[in-house]
């Protein structure tokens, strides 16, 4: 029996979640930045695109609501993925995104590999930076959601909290948004597009599958485990069709260009915001 | 047609005069309620109506000594002469005695106060909240900006239903990372530095990390790319 040439890495639901996150995140970036930078010439232009200072806020709020619903649904989905007969083993196991001691060890190996002092660590299904990517979003979303809802309903908020908590909420919302935007548009895009083994684009999150040789090279422990568990055959996957590849290449590059455009303009105009 | 009696004439005249007097009264506040005293009127209201939350005013029991809010240094923090200079918190005309006052604009002396969201984004002018001349001190008993009624007289003009708690939002917030914020608004200060350290720390770790990955892969390996593998089918 021959080995499959491609194996499945992401389910349809995973990929749909990712596309959902891309669309909502970029829309939030655009409307949020357009308001943050409204005192600059560039910000005013973007803001006009979204119907001005007030209308862009309405779009921002509704998109935020949609994201919150997505976050809750995703959390429910996470709970269904835990094997409740052996929860500890399942949560800290190799299929889980929860960080464990192996990640710390592999990070040390990785540091030695950077300087040619050792071999590349044999990553399992998720490497430590992929886990960080995931949890960065997972903690950032609720923080933005809570502070965002506080700012949406300031009068109700001030019934439960002192009014000055709105100052804090505005600061946290802005700071976390800037953190998320810089991380995604610098680090995540570099890993996904620019690093040599991904260039011009890491397709796994869109096609849902990876070529076998790439999987063996990047995630040897994962392939080994699939082999041992006899799941390799069921993970066999067909190559994405040409039209679909064209589609996600265009989509991915549109997102990339948009993000870099936002980031560069954001940095260029940062000194003209004229708020504290 | 019966003749209008003298009493009725007087009554009509009194009504017209009363209406005129009402017209002459100052315009009503944005929220038509003010319950200022923590001791007497508020308790009366609470007892008679049974509801109080919407009209809650946190009582201010000011210390009898000269002080700057938030700074407490002994019973007499300042010498009497220093206090005269500094304590403009309770004056009917807070700018009383300032030289060449008429030649100045607000921002001549208060440039930092024009950098908040209300000024920069909502395009409010100073006088829309602080009122016309003479501008009373915030703590002046009859000032609309006095914290006992600010929410009703000022905030509620735009934020319908503003409460005293809502009015504790710091409109002129200090620059979040500044020494002024550290003493004046420590929660803001520490929230700012926490987020800044998180941002700088994350980027300082992951940008070199990504670059090292990229460099190492660039000089290390010759492998088929995704494209080649897919094209082979």
| A105 phi/psi in degrees, rounded to 5 | -65, -45
- Pairing verdict, β A6-8 and A209-211: antiparallel
Residues A97 and A131 sit within 8 Å (Cβ to Cβ): yes
Answer yes or no: is B12 within a domain.
Answer: no
**Strands (DSSP E) found in B11-116:** none
* pLDDT of A61: 96
Interface test with chain A among B213, B215, B222, B232, by most A beta carbons within 10 Å: B213
How many angstroms separate the CA of residue B218 from the nearest CA in chain A? 6
Answer yes or no: is B184 within a domain.
Answer: yes
**Strands (DSSP E) found in chain A:** 6-8, 209-211
Mean pLDDT of A21-50: 95
Q: Do B203 and A186 touch (CB under 8 A)?
A: yes
Give me the interface pTM, i.e. the ipTM.
0.92
* pLDDT of A116: 84
Per-10-residue mean pLDDT for chain B, 233 residues long? Answer: 78 92 71 48 55 42 47 55 62 81 85 88 86 84 87 91 90 91 92 96 95 87 48 44
Residues A90 and A83 sit within 8 Å (Cβ to Cβ): yes
Domain carrying residue A169: 6-272
Q: Which member of A39, A178, A276 has the closest CB to residue B175?
A: A276
Pair (B205, B126) in one structural domain: no
Residue A236 pairs in a beta bridge with: A7
Distance, CA of A81 to chain centre: 19
Pair (B48, B101) in one structural domain: yes
Q: List CB contacts (< 8 A) between B161 and chain A.
A: 155
Answer yes or no: is B120 within a domain.
Answer: yes
Q: List CB contacts (< 8 A) between B167 and chain A.
A: 163
Query: CA-to-CA distance for A273 and A262, rounded, in angstroms?
Result: 15
Cα A266-B213-A253 angle, rounded to 5 deg: 45
- SS3 state of residue B99: coil
* pLDDT of B31: 59
Q: Do A199 and B120 touch (CB under 8 A)?
A: no
Residue among A9, A7, A2 nearest A206 (CA):
A9
User: Hey, how many other C-beta atoms are within 10 angstroms of the C-beta on B74?
Assistant: 8
| Residue A68 reports pLDDT greater than 90 | yes
Answer yes or no: is A239 within a domain.
Answer: yes
Q: Do A239 and B230 touch (CB under 8 A)?
A: yes
Answer yes or no: is A53 within a domain.
Answer: yes
Q: Which two tokens stand for residue A176?
A: 């976390």
Q: Which two tokens stand for residue A43?
A: 């910000």
Q: List CB contacts (< 8 A) between A178 and chain B.
A: 199
- pLDDT tens sequence across A56-66: 999 999 999 99
Q: Do B218 and A178 touch (CB under 8 A)?
A: no
Q: List CB contacts (< 8 A) between A5 and chain B.
A: 229, 233
User: Hey, how many other C-beta atoms are within 10 angstroms of the C-beta on B83?
Assistant: 15
- pLDDT tens sequence across B12-64: 999 999 998 887 776 666 555 444 444 445 555 555 655 544 444 444 444 44
Q: Which member of A164, A186, A196 has the closest CB to residue B168?
A: A164
Instruction: Name residue, tokens 């609309």.
Output: B144
Answer yes or no: is A1 within a domain.
Answer: no
- pLDDT tens sequence across A240-270: 999 999 999 999 999 999 999 999 999 999 9
Q: What is the mean pLDDT of chain A?
A: 93
Pair (B159, B98) in one structural domain: yes
What percent of chain A stands above pLDDT 70? 99
Residue among A255, A248, A222, A192 nearest A9 (CA):
A222
Q: Taking the CA of residue A240 as centre, how many other CA atoms within 13 Å lie in the half-sphere pointing to its CB? A: 22
Answer yes or no: is B80 within a domain.
Answer: no
Residues B216 and A196 sit within 8 Å (Cβ to Cβ): no
**Strands (DSSP E) found in A62-200:** none
Determine whether A115 is exposed, middle or buried from the number of CB atoms within 10 Å of its CB (0-12, 13-18, 19+).
Answer: exposed
Q: CA torsion sign, A159 to A164 to A170 to A175?
A: negative
* pLDDT of B83: 54
Q: Cite the DSSP H helix spans in B63-153.
A: 80-86, 106-109, 117-120, 126-130, 150-153
Query: CA-to-CA distance for B56 and B163, rounded, in angstroms?
Result: 7
Q: Which letter does DSSP use for residue B215 in this model?
A: H
Domain carrying residue B211: 175-219
Pair (B116, B197) in one structural domain: no
Mean pLDDT of A203-228: 92
* pLDDT of B184: 87
Q: Do B166 and A163 touch (CB under 8 A)?
A: yes
* pLDDT of A63: 97
Distance, CA of A98 to chain centre: 16
CATH number, domain with residue A133? 1.20.950.20
How many angstroms separate the CA of residue A95 from the nearest CA in chain B? 24
User: Hey, how many other C-beta atoms are within 10 angstroms of the C-beta on A3?
Assistant: 13
Closest chain A residue by Cα to residue B212: A114
Mean pLDDT of A116-124: 89
Q: Do A38 and B121 touch (CB under 8 A)?
A: yes
């Amino acid at each position: 029996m021959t080995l499959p040439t491609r194996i499945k890495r992401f389910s349809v639901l995973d990929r749909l979640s990712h596309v959902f996150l891309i669309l909502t995140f970029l829309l939030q970036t655009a409307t949020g930045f357009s308001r943050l930078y409204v005192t600059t010439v560039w910000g005013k232009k973007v803001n006009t695109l979204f119907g001005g200072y007030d209308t862009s806020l309405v779009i921002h709020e509704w998109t935020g609501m949609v994201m919150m619903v997505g976050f809750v649904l995703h959390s429910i989905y996470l709970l269904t993925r835990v094997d409740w007969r052996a929860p500890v083993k399942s949560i800290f196991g190799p299929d889980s995104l929860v960080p464990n001691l192996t990640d710390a060890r592999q990070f040390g190996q990785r540091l030695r590999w950077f300087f040619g002092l050792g071999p590349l660590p044999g990553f399992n299904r998720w490497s430590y930076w992929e886990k960080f990517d995931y949890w960065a979003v997972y903690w950032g979303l609720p923080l933005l959601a809570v502070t965002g809802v506080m700012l949406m309903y300031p009068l109700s908020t001030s019934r439960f909290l002192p009014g000055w908590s709105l100052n804090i909420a505005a600061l946290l919302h802005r700071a976390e948004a800037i953190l998320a935007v810089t991380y995604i548009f610098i680090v995540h895009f570099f890993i996904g597009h620019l690093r040599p083994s991904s260039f011009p684009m890491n397709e796994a999150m869109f096609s849902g599958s990876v070529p076998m040789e790439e999987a063996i090279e990047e995630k040897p422990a994962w392939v080994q485990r699939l082999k041992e568990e006899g799941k390799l055959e069921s993970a066999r996957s067909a190559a994405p069709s040409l039209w679909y590849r064209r589609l996600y290449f265009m989509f991915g590059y549109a997102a990339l260009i948009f993000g870099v455009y936002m980031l560069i303009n954001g940095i260029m105009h940062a000194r003209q915001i004229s708020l504290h | 047609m019966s003749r209008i009696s003298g009493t009725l004439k007087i009554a009509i005249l009194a009504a017209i005069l009363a209406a005129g007097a009402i017209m002459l009264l100052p315009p009503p506040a944005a929220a038509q309620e003010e319950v200022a005293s923590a001791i007497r009127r508020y308790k009366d209201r609470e007892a008679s109506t049974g509801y109080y939350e919407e009209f809650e005013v946190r009582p201010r029991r000011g210390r009898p000594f000269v002080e700057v809010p938030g700074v407490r240094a002994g019973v007499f923090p300042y010498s009497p002469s220093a206090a005269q200079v500094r304590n403009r918190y309770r004056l009917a005309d807070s700018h009383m005695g300032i030289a060449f006052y008429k030649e100045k604009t607000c921002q001549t002396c208060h440039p930092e106060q024009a950098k908040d969201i209300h000024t920069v984004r909502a395009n409010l002018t100073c006088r829309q909240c602080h009122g016309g001349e003479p501008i009373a001190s915030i703590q002046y008993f009859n000032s609309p900006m006095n914290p006992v009624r600010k929410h009703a007289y000022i905030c509620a003009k735009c934020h319908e239903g503003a409460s005293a708690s809502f009015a504790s939002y710091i409109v002129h917030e200090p620059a979040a990372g500044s020494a002024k914020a550290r003493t004046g608004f420590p929660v803001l200060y520490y929230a700012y530095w926490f987020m800044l350290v998180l941002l700088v720390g994350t980027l300082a770790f992951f940008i070199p990390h990504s670059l090292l990955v990229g460099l190492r892969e660039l000089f290390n390996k010759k492998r088929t790319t995704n494209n080649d593998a897919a094209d082979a089918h």
